[in-house]
Amino acid sequence: MARAPNYGHERRERDKNKAAKRAARADAKKAKADERQPSDAPNDEPETDGEAPADDESGPTDAA
């Protein structure tokens, strides 16, 4: 007697292979982007201490 096909297992295997292929393509894409623009390149923006610039809180200047 022939065995019944296990369609669920076959589908899971196809999905697993597809996910691995997507991950490999994403890694290659990220490596290529990093190669084009290294992360240790100097920025054009000045460095700050991580604080936002202080606003002048003297109130409204409308003298009318």
Q: Which pLDDT value is given to residue 37?
A: 82
30-44: pLDDT as tens digits = 999 998 886 565 566
3-state secondary structure the chain: CCCCCCHHHHHHHHHHHHHHHHHHHHHHHHHHHHHHCCCCCCCCCCCCCCCCCCCCCCCCCCCC
pLDDT tens digits, 49-62? 666 666 666 666 66
Task: Specify the pTM.
Answer: 0.48
| C-alpha separations of 61 from 39, 53, 55, 64 in Å | 44, 20, 14, 9
